[in-house]
Structure 1
Amino acid sequence: MTDEPKPEPPQPIGLDLIAPEMYTPMLRRLSLAAIGIGIVMGLLLALAVPWPIAVVAGVVLGAPTALYALAVQRRRIWLAGTVIRARTIFGSRRLDVAEATGVEILIFPGRLSRIVLRVTAGGARQVVPLAMYTDAGSGRELHILGLRRLADALAASPLAAALAVSDVLVGQLRAEARDAVLEERPLYRAVRSVRSRDSVQPVVLSDRDIAALG
């Protein structure tokens, strides 16, 4: 009797709204420039003040920008099966969507409006960017494969809110697949509805709001 082959683990799919490969070179140059400016300013100040003060001033000038650029490069989000893994500035986080105790869609209105998914499971909470839109009617949306896997992961949860959001993502998938105009895309319609309320604070969509997007 032969052993059945074990199923391969699901391949992780990136859930970053903007692929890190697009901005990593720019952030690397920014880090080097900030470090260079700090060194140059420190050397110049050393001509006029004691060197310990010059060193501190150089660090204060260059370190914050360099550290910020390095931190942004480190942040990543992946989805493998139903498990979201996020790498943060200070560590990493793991959350199983199938065990979610809370699923919400949040909208941050503004000239550049963002719509995100917030998932809570146990004591962990993770935000996944879904799209961002400008006042001019342009924007960027999560890629189709990411939407598909995220919708499947939500559908694996027994939570009613997760199933409702999964349906919204499936609707967004279909709209993106046929290259529909923004007004026909559920995520954009959600953002537009919040903008019409003239709200400046983040808005959590109600069950009725989410049902209306289906």
Structure 2
Amino acid sequence: LLFGLPPAVGAFVVTRRHLRLDGTVLVASGPVRSRSVDLRHLAGVELLVRVARVSQVILRVNDGEHGLVSVPLALYADGGGRELDVLALRRLADALATAEVAPAAAVSSVLVEQLRAEARSAAVGERPLYRAVELARNAGRVPQTTLTDHEVASLVD
């Protein structure tokens, strides 16, 4: 019981987390609490990259009031990866495009480029979200870093 209960509780909590986008409102709900952020009125937008055996690209948004909501965009391992599905990326890009802050527009354009790369079946190395992982790895900023506005803009080139 001493060794089995903590992992079981952790697994239960993780399976009960849900993210949904209602128009421009991003809602993160868990077993204990729920947070929502209206993407039209953001205070901050960040692309966070975690580099390890399995690398991850995460979008973090906050509205300055209700805190922070994180959206996992992609996971990459050796030779492949898993990305947020096309419809979810499109809805998220559209919602970010309505925001009043410039970094949201930049992230929205990165997501649109990601969609274009997926539409033409581009190799993993040609996808902007994977390039974010490579950028962080090549700069030696591991295991975790937040991309600057200039770095986010360079993902679209």
Question: Which piece of structure 1 moves more, 144-153 or 63-72?
Answer: 63-72
Give the CA deviation at 1:141: 0.5
Structure with greater helix share of residues: 1
SS in 2 for 1:122: coil
Amino acid at match of 2:21: L
Counting matched residue pairs gives 155
TM-score by length of 1: 0.69
Looking at structure 2, the residues matched to 119 and 61 of structure 1 have their Cα atoms a distance apart, in angstroms, of 36
Aligned to 1:183: 125
SS in 1 for 2:122: coil
Identity %: 48
Looking at structure 2, the residues matched to 111 and 165 of structure 1 have their Cα atoms a distance apart, in angstroms, of 25
1:70-85 to 2 correspondences below 5 Å: 70-85=12-27
Looking at structure 1, the residues matched to 132 and 49 of structure 2 have their Cα atoms a distance apart, in angstroms, of 8
RMSD: 1.2
1:140 aligns with 2:82: yes
Question: Which piece of structure 1 moves more, 151-160 or 176-185?
Answer: 176-185
Structure 2: tracts of 5 or more residues without a match: none
1:90 aligns with 2:32: yes
Aligned to 1:101: 43
Give the CA deviation at 1:151: 0.3
1:63 aligns with 2:5: yes
SS in 2 for 1:111: coil
Structure 1: tracts of 5 or more residues without a match: 1-57
Task: Confirm or deny: 8 A CA contact 2:106 2:152 kept in the other structure.
Answer: yes
User: For the pair shown, which has the larger CA radius of gyration, 1 or 2?
Assistant: 1
Looking at structure 2, the residues matched to 66 and 212 of structure 1 have their Cα atoms a distance apart, in angstroms, of 42
Give the CA deviation at 1:168: 0.4
Give the CA deviation at 1:137: 2.3
Give the CA deviation at 1:166: 0.3
Runs of 4+ in 1 over 3 A off after TM superposition: none
SS in 2 for 1:176: helix
